[in-house]
Amino acid sequence: AWLLRPLFRKADIERRQEAVQELASGGAAVALSEARSVLSKCGDIERLLSRVHSMSGFTMPGDDDDENSRIHPNDRAVLYETAAYTKRKVGDFSKVLQGLRSATQSPELFNGIEIQSGLLRKIVHFNGQGGCFPNMADDLEWFFENFDCEMASQGHFEPGRGIDGRYDEASDTVERIIAELNAYKDEMCSTVLSPPALARTSWTYANTKIDSKDKYLIELPANVAVPDDFIMKGKRGSGRKQVNKYRTAVVEELVGELEQAYELQRERMTRGMELIFAKFDSKRTLWAAAAQATALLDAIGSLAQTASKPGYVRPKILECAMDESPKINIVQGRHPCIENTFNSSEFIPNDLVLGCD
């Protein structure tokens, strides 16, 4: 951007020169040498912020409007490689989180260093300390606590409590049904089955995982007397070790409700990920401010690293009145690109005078 839009005003050029000169030597140069290793871990935050924005959809946490009126174009797409797409989305989100966390370390490295340049002071000091770098550590930490990137990349993301109301409702339903199934077990073992002690110790629910078929079949030894409404669905073993599998109308009704809650959970898991992205995108101004300050420090630091090499001097910028012609006077000039192409012994420095007497 600086190459495409070079500075024109003398004050702006000198403002940048002061920042470069201060970073080229002294305590600020020492802090910069440590900051450069941190900056190398930030990545292209601005590009990643744009990607997260495209993944967030339009819904914000707490919206109660009709979701069908706010469907994001991504939701209408038919994805044949959902796992790979999800892994890529989570990977980008993880990169931007890690990049922003690295960026927050930059101002800490300049603590206690007296800085004269106004531009440099702004980009390496936090808000409230005379700078413009946002205090975002707490906001950033929320996403690390509520989004497990590793689990999400494997398709096992589970929204935390309070992120998606409908997912929370489905989770509450699952907990309630499991509690009712256990209460039903206690009631039947105490009042109906015989002998009660054997029934209580041997009653087991089979197939309790989310993806299991014939969920919550009741397993009881064959010598436990059961009422007529216990419908046998199968058995395992034989003789005295035979175990029968039963299903009752009460359990069947609860399992049907449980399946609906599980299905809603699966639907809302993807939605919960989008809500996380939307919540992150709602603070885009905060992240963009950090990205801008980090980019400025990176660019100015690169110029300072070059300016600290032998032979580099700070040019003096002259005022140019409206009725005057621009002037330039270079003494023994060496172009850095040519310096890197040829050996210094093969290059002949050149003077350049334009518009001067």
Q: Pseudo-torsion of CA 174, 176, 178, 179, nearest 10°?
A: 160
Structure tokens at 81: 């490689």
Backbone angles phi, psi at 151, to 5 degrees: -65, -40
Can you give the pLDDT at residue 259?
A: 93
pLDDT single digits (tens) 50-73: 888 887 764 444 444 445 444 444
Determine the average pLDDT of the residues in 314-336.
88
- Mean pLDDT of all residues in the chain? 85
Would the pLDDT of 330 be above 90? yes
Is the pTM higher than 0.85? The answer reads no
Would the pLDDT of 17 be above 50? yes
**Exposure string over 160-189, b if 16+ CB within 10 A, otherwise e:** eeebbeebbebbebbeebeebbeebbeebb
Determine the average pLDDT of the residues in 144-159.
75
Short-list 38, 109, 20, CA closest to 301 = 20
Can you give the pLDDT at residue 70?
A: 47
Can you give the pLDDT at residue 82?
A: 56
Q: Are strands 243-247 and 328-333 parallel, antiparallel or unpaired?
A: unpaired
Other Cβ atoms within 10 Å of 332 Cβ, number: 11
Structure tokens at 354: 């334009």
Can you give the pLDDT at residue 152?
A: 74
